[in-house]
Amino acid sequence: MIKGGICGLGGRMGQAILRLLLEKGHSLGAAFEDESHPYLGKDAGSVISGKDLSVSINTINKDDLSNVDGVIDFSNTKAGLQLLDLMVEVKKPLVTGTTGFTDEEIKKFTEASKVIPLILSPNMSLGVNLLFKMTEIASKVLAGDFDVELFEAHHRQKLDAPSGTAKKLLDIIKENGPGLKDAPLVYDRSIKKEKRTDKEIGVQVLRGGDIVGEHTVFFTGTGERIELTHKASNRDIFARGAVLALEFLVNKEPGFYNMFDVLGI
């Protein structure tokens, strides 16, 4: 049994992770939120069921980390970096699903992985990670002769665009598609008024309603088209993957692991 910590417990993902953590027979050892959050000081159990878990929701602190085997973080970049520093100090595993980190900030995770085992993934869904792998395979085989475009859709409250998952898919396409390493991303064809080139990747973003998440990679050739699509209908799929990732990391040696490692693919 794992005693886990959750950073960002007041959010929808944090609450879903807590439910899944408990359903799998694990326990909660620490819960963190922003200093201005209305749940601050409340018992973590009150957030999802009213059941007393005897774990107070606090701001990020080193003392509470002594009560956990590892932490799952779905907060924001500022909190995520603060937590990262403390996890290195206490030398405990970290699973981060927070998106929006800059390239320089991601380098801090790379350095931290020399001290602790960690996973930084824009999407913990098992299905999305299979989409990553299928996109890698398709890019190697098709991208040289097929036009590549990407579409993603999320709820109206999402701040970043394109999504972290979409950026990961674009990285995979560029890394594996022949001649696409430096391909420009085209977000608005209305201002181009010219034919599509071979060495570009189109990106479309939709924001509206309560869409949990949808991603499609199009490989469009002459006379045929392949579409790789993943649609999320609830957040439990991300929570399930995050808990699985923490289970994987506990007792692992320091390193920068990924969801492919978790899935064994």
Which residues are CB-neighbours of 236 under 8 A, at least 6 positions away? 16, 19, 20
**Same domain as 137, residue 186:** yes
Average pLDDT over residues 125-139: 95
**Same domain as 43, residue 21:** yes
| 21 — pLDDT class (breaks 50, 70, 90) | very high
> Three-class SS of residue 46?
helix
Catalytic residue among 3, 24, 158, 252: 158
Residue in the block written with tokens 């869904």: 125
CATH code assigned at 60: 3.40.50.720
pLDDT in tens, 224-234: 999 999 999 98
* pTM for the full predicted model: 0.82
Query: What is the Rg, in whole angstroms, of the alpha carbon atoms belonging to the chain?
Result: 20
**Same domain as 103, residue 159:** no
Out of 88-92, 148-152, 154-158, which region has the weakest mean confidence (pLDDT)? 154-158
What is the distance in angstroms between the CA of the first residue and the CA of the last residue of the chain?
Answer: 25
**Same domain as 183, residue 59:** no
* Structure-model confidence comparison of residues 183 and 123, the more confident one: 183
- Domain count within the chain: 2
Question: Residue ranges of the alpha helices (H) in 115-235?
Answer: 126-142, 164-176
Active site residue 3: no
**Same domain as 22, residue 61:** yes
Q: Which of 73, 70, 67, 58 is nearest to 29 (CA)?
A: 67
Active site residue 154: yes
| 118 — pLDDT class (breaks 50, 70, 90) | very high
Task: Give 265: exposed, middle or buried? Use CB within 10 Å, 0-12, 13-18, 19+.
Answer: exposed
pLDDT in tens, 166-221: 999 999 999 999 999 999 999 998 887 889 998 999 999 999 999 999 999 999 99
**Same domain as 19, residue 109:** yes
- The percent of residues in the chain predicted with pLDDT above 90, rounded, is 86
Range of the domain at 10: 3-120+235-263
CATH code assigned at 224: 3.30.360.10
Q: How far apart are CA 220 and CA 237, in angstroms?
A: 29
**Same domain as 58, residue 41:** yes
> Is the distance from CB of 86 to CB of 108 less than 8 angstroms?
no
Average pLDDT over residues 222-250: 95
**Same domain as 139, residue 163:** yes
Which pLDDT belongs to residue 144? 83
Give the torsion sign (CA, 40, 42, 48, 54): positive
Q: How far apart are CA 179 and CA 143, in angstroms?
A: 8
Which pLDDT belongs to residue 160? 86
Q: CB atoms < 10 A from the CB of 1, how many?
A: 8
Which pLDDT belongs to residue 143? 85
| 58 — pLDDT class (breaks 50, 70, 90) | very high
**Same domain as 162, residue 137:** yes
Using CA atoms, how far residue 136 sits from 58, 99, 122, 142, 173, in Å, is 41, 21, 16, 10, 7
Using CA atoms, how far residue 53 sits from 24, 37, 116, 251, in Å, is 15, 19, 28, 25
**Residue 89 predicted with pLDDT over 80:** yes
Which pLDDT belongs to residue 192? 78
Out of 47-51, 103-107, 183-187, 239-243, which region has the weakest mean confidence (pLDDT)? 47-51
Tokens of 258: 């990924």
**C-alpha atoms less than 13 angstroms from C-alpha of 149 in its C-beta half-sphere:** 17
**Same domain as 243, residue 228:** no
Cis peptide before 162 (omega within 30 of 0): yes
Which pLDDT belongs to residue 209? 97
Q: How far apart are CA 132 and CA 144, in angstroms?
A: 18
Mean pLDDT of the chain: 94
Catalytic residue among 154, 174, 215, 230: 154
**Same domain as 185, residue 110:** no
Q: Which of 103, 124, 99 is nearest to 247 (CA)?
A: 124
**Same domain as 92, residue 25:** yes
Which pLDDT belongs to residue 234? 86
Q: How far apart are CA 175 and CA 225, in angstroms?
A: 21
**Residue 50 predicted with pLDDT over 80:** no
Q: Which amino acid, residue 51?
A: K
